[in-house]
Structure 1
Amino acid sequence: MESSSNDPSSEGEQPEDEGKAGSEASKLSRLLRTEFDAKYQIVNLQTPLNAFMSGHYKQSFAFFTLRSRLPVILTNVIDTLTRDKSELVAQFASHEFSQAAREELKIIIGLISRLKYELQTDKSFQNFTGEEPDREIWNNFISSLPDGERSFYRASSLHAECYLHRKLQSFLENSVFLKSYDFFAKVKEQALTDSIEDVLALTKYTRRSENNVEVFDELLRINMWSNCNDVATDTETAKQTNRQVLEKLSATDEHVLVNQAAEIWRCLENPKLKKQKQVDFILDNAGYELFSDFILAEFIIEKGLANKVRFHVKAHPWFVNDVTERDFNWTLEYLSQHADYIISLIGKKFLQFIDEGKFELAPISHFWTSPHSFYSMAQMEPDLYSSLQRSKLVVFKGELNYRKLLQDVCWVPTQELSTCLRGFLPSNICVLRRVKSEVMSGLPDGVGQALSRKDPRWMVSGSYGVIQFVDGTREFGY
């Protein structure tokens, strides 16, 4: 390791000219931030209690997401299209139409660049005017927003992020050649192939026959931590976490802020619910996390806790890593055809579960890619709500589903989860979530305050998780 004494940034060793340059750059950066804040009415505050998360509040993760994360996502998409232009033209257009496909690709890149500009300059949301199947849902939603909440930084950050990802997908839907293209397909495939050693380790770890709450609790925690394999986490960090979880799961106990695994187990074991044979998974990320979902679902089936697990995927590419029907099917095929005998066997087993009706892909619903929070499901999508009412347990995976359950509101962290759902209770609810935003409920008294003293960034670091349960049986008089 080289000595830091030659590092200009080391204390006391910074050359005078470089020190002045750094000071000037810092002043310019502060000036630009101040001008941005003033122009777009950003206030240097944390999100107030009971307010929607919004980029309007500079000390929020919502502001950071809008200012830093989303522009990077759009830039990466533009870079991918530019780099893979020839490959995409060859894949999606015959030779005689290659020039037309190239021109269309330029137009799409231009549209994405404009969307990035609109994001960075807090422009108002625009109606959808193409062939989007959910166009009416979105346009009605946009028109229903108050005048002061129709732009990226003034709207709820949930609405802003959903709008951006929906607009991004609309550029493909309204194209001639690229309708079936997924901006993030390679990212999602790589999320699985890069973690194949962890897939093998998890497969071996879970080949056992115990049918008890202790094993079930372990699987819930493994599944919750598998969310670390999202696009926002460095690949090596994710692999390290996966290994640590399997090697010594108990070491993560202090980072699980709420663990109601025992209540979830009692729900599944409840003899009064025997007539309900179905469990529903509202999926989050593709890759290792989806494989972990399959492992948890396998346990539920094989231990007689349900005779069917239904998986709900997104109607189209969404929030980069989210599972679509294509990702779901590709994952099963990839596993079943893998060169490693053990991985191939587990993949074939999951495909057999599909054939036998033990695993089932739920009908595709655009509600999951709408801007609406889940409490509006009964009104907006009554058939979907009715289908969840037939479930023994509905398992909601990940951060975005948690935010939609809680309407992206800055609740008092000790508020009961059942209260924050605002009446959304189609059945018993399980939440498996790695904490990555300030949306939180159901914490014991004093836990949030203690964490804030120990780690001010605990709500956004992804270092903590919750396994929460809401009993829906009273709703149905069981």
Structure 2
Amino acid sequence: METSNPSKEALVGEEPSEEDEEPVKSDPDHSQTLSRVLRAEFDSRYNIVDLQTPLNAFMSGQYKKSFAYYTLRSRLPVILTNVIDTLTRDKSELVAQFAPHDFAQAAREELKIVIGLISRLKYELQTDKPFQSFTGEEPDREAWNTFINHLPNGERSFYRGCSLHAECYLHRKLYSFVENSIFLKSYDFFAKIKEHTLVDRMDDILALTKHTRRSDNSVEVFGELLKINMWSISNDVSSDPEEDKKLNFKVLQDVGATDEYIIVNHAEEIWNCLDNNKPKKLKQVDVILDNTGYELFSDFVLAEYLIEKALANKVRFHVKAHPWFVTDVTERDFRWTLEYLSQHADYMISLMGKKFLQFLEEGKFELAPVSHFWTSPHAFYSMLQADPDLYSSLQQSKLVIFKGELNYRKLLQDVCWNSSQETSACLRGFLPTNICVLRRVKSEIICGLEEGVGEALATKNPQWMVSGNYGVIQFVDGAREFGY
């Protein structure tokens, strides 16, 4: 399916094919030995060390016992392979959809070129090649090239660099291939996946809808909605659908049953920040969105509560500028979701969709101007310098809610902090207003825990930080000074 012909170097660490290694078929021990040899060769060639990420270091693929290494070695190549498979399988459909009949052959040739570019990107990932400049018509080309050029020489490749930079670069480069094409400019590699994350969860969505009708205006109900929303983050493409459904059912049946897995819960502080008993004044809440599907619906439900209980006069949603990290919300996903809900056959779901659309028309919901900062490699402490207008717009908000793993990593610069380090210190001065973080823990980056909590969890389960079994509802008071 890949059209390029990468050298054997590109296949280091991959399972040998039956065609290339006939003895492997009949000798499992030999296969395991060969696999170990290839892994050792890979580690030696790219200076991989068999360690966890050191304290206060950037997450990096150079540390073999890190989630960053696993992501670069296993998860990202699979994403690229799946994209190649999709383009190959849907070739005729894509040509018919995006190209006029007279240009069908030209579109097929262009599709081959795109597949070849993705294959090359996969090869560069698997062989720790340097990040390449952007040379097309990307609107953020200059910003990206400046960022790459200012990286230290030893941090400009996939494994040697910070894993946050590597992952962002890969997804940005991937989209640039269609962005600079003639026929596929509007194509989203992940559109069908994102649509399925909603369509396949309609039972859960109906259950959440029923559960949240006639909710009381109280800190207890507000805290429940924050928990529901935080756990909904598990419903992304990397999670098990059946496990998601079990979790959704468990949370809605008894939200308190998950409390032991919420290792920070500042729901009361967040409620006090939005205290609706204070004299009425304009209160805006911004939500930096994460995934589509059930999670996005849960975001709408939380926003609905904020509006209806006068905790906010407006909720402003921030989406990604283009397809990003597979299931992240773009403007197209945002609007498609609302239209799909409003036209659903189930009356209650349709009613919810129409209500959300009405909120959008009335200005109670608002789609923020699309910013390329959210799809940049920058940690958020760089926002004031990199995008001062965006920073200024967040200062207008009473509370900014950051959703999910990637936003958490960008808040903390992808640094392996001491887990008990105060969150405000880890933000390195990024505090445009009050901040709320809703996150399901999926990488070795965390702060703000009570002393001893991280150590106790590590004793109980050494993999707790990448298990996805724990979550945080964290708050940072933007009204205070923290010394930055």
Question: TM-score, with normalisation over the residues of structure 2?
Answer: 0.93
For the Cα contact (< 8 Å) 2:270–2:475, is it kept in 1?
Answer: yes
Residue 327 of structure 1 aligns with an amino acid whose one-letter code is D
Query: What displacement does 1:276 show?
Result: 4.4
SS of the residue 2:464 aligns to: coil
Alpha-carbon offset, residue 209 of structure 1: 3.6
Residue of structure 2 equivalent to 1:152:
158
**Is the contact between residue 413 and residue 440 of structure 1 (CA under 8 Å) also seen in structure 2?**
yes
CA RMSD of aligned residues (A): 1.5
Structure 1 position 66, deviation (Å) = 0.0
Q: Distance in 2 between matches of 1:272 and 1:438?
A: 39
> Which position in structure 2 is the counterpart of 1:377?
383
- Which of 440, 446, 452 is equivalent to 2:446? 440
Contact 1:398/1:432, CA 8 A, preserved across alignment:
yes
Residues 252-276 of structure 1 deviation map (CA, whole Å, 9 limit, x = unaligned): 1110000000000000007678544
Q: For 1:36-115, what aligned pairs fall within 5 Å after superposition?
A: 36-115=42-121
Equivalenced residue count is: 460
State the secondary structure of the residue aligned to 1:395: strand
Query: Among residues 402, 405, 408, which one is paired with 2:408 in the alignment?
Result: 402
For 2:187, the equivalent position in structure 1 comes to 181
> In the alignment, which residue of structure 1 is the partner of 2:470?
464
Contact 2:24–2:30 (CA<8 Å) still a contact in 1?
no
Aligned 1:323-362 pairs, distance under 5 A = 323-362=329-368
What SS does structure 2 have at the residue aligned with 1:286?
A: coil
Offset at residue 467 of structure 1 (A)? 0.2
Contact 1:276/1:391 (8 A) holds in 2: no
> Which of these residues, 295, 307, 314, is aligned with residue 320 of structure 2?
314
Secondary structure of the structure 2 residue equivalent to 1:47: coil
Aligned match of 1:223: 229
TM-score norm. by structure 1 comes to: 0.94
Partners of 1:31 and 1:257 lie apart in 2 by 40
Deviations 1:298-334 (A, max 9, x none): 0000000111000000000000000000000000000
Q: 1: CA distance between counterparts of 2:128 and 2:277?
A: 54
CA-CA distance at 1:23 after TM superposition: 2.3
Report Cα offsets for 1:177-218 as digits up to 9, x if no partner.
000000000000000000000000000000014100000000
Which structure 1 residue ranges, 5 or more long, are not aligned? 1-16
- Identical columns (%): 76
- Alpha-carbon distance in structure 2 between the residues aligned to 1:34 and 1:58: 11
Counterpart of 1:163?
Answer: 169
Stretches of structure 2 lacking an aligned partner (at least 5 in a row) = 1-22
Inter-CA distance 283–18: structure 2 relative to 1 (3 Å threshold): closer
Of the structure 1 ranges 448-457 and 18-27, higher mean CA displacement relative to structure 2 is found in 18-27
Does 2:372 match 1:366?
A: yes
Higher mean displacement: 285-294 or 264-273 = 264-273
Q: 1:21-36 counterparts in 2 under 5 A?
A: 21-36=27-42
Cα 1:18–1:179 change in 2 (3 A) is closer
Structure 2 distance, partners of 1:182, 1:418, is 37
Query: Residue type of the partner of 1:216?
Result: F
Name the structure 2 match of 1:5.
none
> Per-residue deviation at 1:430?
0.2
Q: Is the 8 A contact 2:24 2:31 kept in 1?
A: no
Distance in structure 2 (CA, Å) of the matches to 1:111 and 1:170: 10
Matched residue, 1:4: none
Task: Report how far residue 27 of structure 1 moved.
Answer: 1.5
Instruction: Tell me the distance in 2 between the aligned counterparts of 1:276 and 1:203.
Output: 27
What is the Cα deviation at residue 48 of structure 1? 0.3
SS at match of 2:33: helix
User: By how many angstroms is 1:21 displaced?
Assistant: 2.5
Greater CA deviation, 345-354 or 21-30? 21-30
